[in-house]
Amino acid sequence: MRKLALAISLVVTGTAIPTVQADTVYTGDRVQGVPVISQLDIADLEPGKMHRFMFQGATDGIGQFFYVPVIVAKGAQPGTKLVFNSGNHGDEVNGIRAVQKIMDGIDPARLSGSVVAVPGTNPNAINRITREWTTYNSGGTSTNFNRLFPGKENGTGPEQHAWLLWNKLWQGNVEYAFDFHSQATGHDSPFFIYADYRDPRIERIAELFPVDQIKKDPGEKGSLETTFVENSIPAITLELGPPRGFNTDMVDRAVEGARNVMINLKMIEGKIGRTAITMDAFVGDKTTMIRAEQGGYNEPLVAPGDQVKKGQIVARQLNMFGDTIKEYTAPVDGKVLSIGSDAAREPRATLVRLMTQSPDA
């Protein structure tokens, strides 16, 4: 296993997205008593206080706005600017709770810098408890919202929503970004992180979280993490286990890691807690998917985090009578990164995903 290289005492300042700062724009509306903004500039917020807004996003088919909750902790002293984001996929809710609890634990009067938290960017999908943004043009389509960044000003509804978040909420307000996810419906995993280790700042912040596994990963085009990285903003994607409900262990570890980051960046005082080192996290750079070759009930024979050997039977499929119709073996030695947890599995559905480490990594 590769030796983790966590630099607890090292502090490196990130590079903000180049932009001309503009004042926070209030629309004059309120949603459930919370002021609505169409643009955020943390520079003009009162320091030493917590601020709540509803951010005005794109419009739906009848012209009504999608509103995104935003919490800003504006520190009493200057310092690093963080963004904690969640809810790009509507059935991945552990991140939403983690962001809420992170903000509950911050005292702006004792904070240096600022934290912008978004507990749910995709209200379209969150309200439906679905992974993707659903539109109704031409009979209806579903779109992976986390492949649309930085969005399009004159694009589809979800493309416009992504553009507004990128240009009117985050630009100029972020030096490090953390995008919280979990597995999609029908899947399960340990707590793991996608991180582009080509940037040592990203390696450092990833290893400050008490995760089970880290995937060294160049990123996915259009994802929020990759879009930040392409704009010189260190960012990681955090996968907080199973979907659709709050998992206390995953949420609490995410909160602990976020606190570690703020301590390391000299934003708050305190002692570093558990990290990837103390969790003996496995760091890999390659994933192998084992997919269903036909339809049938899935019986996983391994669990997230298990170590498996090449040739080991990791899943079997059953027909409606309970007969085994197919067995699946691991093509390589590796760690189980995720499993398909839904019983019914159509052809090409994920059964098991393994993570490995290349010999030259």
Q: What is the pLDDT of residue 8?
A: 39
Question: Rounded mean pLDDT of 307-330?
Answer: 98
How do residues 227-273 score in pLDDT, each as one tens digit?
A: 999 999 999 999 999 999 999 999 999 999 999 999 999 999 999 99
**What's the confidence (pLDDT) of residue 361?**
57
For position 358, what pLDDT does the model report?
A: 86
Q: Report if residue 9 sits inside a domain.
A: no
Same domain? 257 vs 293: no
pLDDT of amino acid 9: 39
* pLDDT tens digits, one per residue of 60-92: 999 999 999 999 999 999 999 999 999 999 999
How many domains in the chain?
2
> For residue 22, what pLDDT is reported?
67
Quote the domain boundaries for residue 328. 286-356
| pLDDT at residue 11 tops 50 | no
CB-based contacts of 232: which residues, under 8 Å, 6+ apart? 14, 15, 17
**Rounded to 5 degrees, what are φ and ψ at 338?**
-160, 160
What are the structure tokens assigned to 356, written together? 């490995």
How would residue 120 be classed by pLDDT, with cut points 50, 70 and 90?
A: very high
Give me 222's structure tokens.
């259009």
Structure confidence by residue, pLDDT tens digits, 194-228: 999 999 999 999 999 999 999 999 999 999 999 99
Residues 157 and 116 in one domain: yes
> HSE on the CB side for 273, CA within 13 Å?
15
Residue 4 has pLDDT above 70, yes or no: no
Average pLDDT, rounded, for the chain: 94
The reported pTM is 0.92
CB 318 within 8 A of CB 324: yes
290 and 224 within one domain:
no
d(CA 193, CA 33): 36
Q: What is the dihedral of CA 354, 332, 283, 258, to 10 degrees?
A: 10
User: Token digits for 78?
Assistant: 């200057």
Q: Which two tokens stand for residue 62?
A: 């009848």
221, burial (CB in 10 Å: exposed 0-12, middle 13-18, buried 19+)? exposed
The CATH number for 307's domain is 2.40.50.100
Average pLDDT over residues 166-177: 98
The CA-atom distances, in angstroms, between 302 and each of 243, 344, 345 are 19, 17, 16
- 140 pLDDT band (50/70/90 cuts)? confident
CA 95 to chain centre: 7
Residue 269 lies in a domain: no
Indicate whether 223 and 301 sit together in one domain: no
pLDDT band for 137, please (50, 70, 90 cuts): confident
| CATH label of the domain that carries residue 188 | 3.40.630.10
